Amino acid sequence: MVHKIELSQEILIGSFTKEVTPILSVSSGDSIRFETLDAGWGTGRSNSERRKPFSRKEKIDGGHALVGPIYIEGAKKGMTLEIEFNDIIPGQYGFTAAGQYPNWQNQKLHLTEYKEISLDWKLDNKSMVGVCEINGNSFSVSLRPFMGIIGMPPDDIGIHSTWPPRYCGGNIDCKELVKGSKLYLPISVDGGYLAIGDGHALQGDGEISCQAIECPMEVVDITINLIEGIDLLNPRADTPAGWITFGFHEDLNEATVQALDGMLTLMGELYGLNRVEAIALGSSVVDLRITQIVNGVKGVHACLPHGILK
């Protein structure tokens, strides 16, 4: 079954929680098609025409603009949710700010000595090219749109922030989760209560300024499936770039260990290797990448490219 969600006040939320009425109930195998605001609750045809047509509700709308929560029939804590991205089409504008966050990173990089800026991007979702100007010079990039936030609330009562990534998803900000990817999340609460938002037209590993090319999405089309028999501690993904396993922690070293742990487990499942064999073979073929360093809880992902082991 295909569900189409129309953009409205009622389908938006700025947190993860199971304590609100879901906007939709779906079953395993269903597809969902919707559009999104940008992370800052904006929409429009250009940066100059960007507007915020929907108000935020106190307490539950303090974070990024997400579509959800979506209730998944039959979803039980301990199962795995597969989210397949069938299509992701960005809107017509994007923006990237830098210098305005007074954190350790800006201080170490001496960014406080320079003026804060925000790049205005014109996005062409037919040619998949984005263009901006800096000091009269035009720069163009090839777009690779993806959703920065995909997740469910943790197994705790209350309202949970959209800012950090968690074992059950959240602000993952992984640039590899493009069209054609399948993301696997541990289900943390019965019913799932899935929410998605934070569209990015393009991002580099690390998301170094704290923003990618932030944009609304004209189309996000996903298919969800419930899977039993996979014991995940953190998310994993099957992407066009390869298999990916994630680690999340305030300490980048600990996040790295988590990502590697997930990859060793995955290689054991795929190739029948024990963990020592997997790390020996993986030292030649597995890439470690910094997913993002800007969400408090840092992210690392390990990537095993498709076809590299024959």
Residues 12-39: pLDDT tens digits?
Answer: 999 999 999 999 999 999 999 999 999 9
Domains in the chain, please, with CATH? 1-88+146-229 (2.60.120.580), 95-140 (no CATH), 241-310 (3.10.28.20)
Supply the pLDDT for residue 203. 97
Residue among 134, 136, 289 nearest 203 (CA): 289
pLDDT, tens digit (0-9, with 9 covering 90-100), for 76-86: 999 999 999 99
User: In 10 A of CB 97, how many CB atoms?
Assistant: 15
- pLDDT value of residue 118: 86
Q: Sheet holding 182-186: strands in order across?
A: 2-4, 31-36, 217-227, 80-90, 182-186, 236-239, 242-249, 298-304, 287-292
Cα angle vertex 170, ends 97, 223, to 5°?
110
Supply the pTM of this predicted model: 0.94
User: pLDDT at position 112, please?
Assistant: 61
The pLDDT assigned to 272 comes to 96
| CA dist 149 → 68, 161, 301 (Å) | 12, 11, 15
Provide the 10 A C-beta neighbour count for residue 164. Answer: 17
What phi, psi does 278 have (nearest 5°)?
A: -65, -40
Nearest C-alpha neighbor of 203 from the set 86, 292, 116, 122: 292
For the chain, the residue count is 310
> 252 vs 105, 109, 217, 278, 296, CA distance in Å?
14, 19, 31, 22, 11
User: Which positions of the chain have pLDDT values less than 70?
Assistant: 100-115
Helix/strand/coil for 250: coil
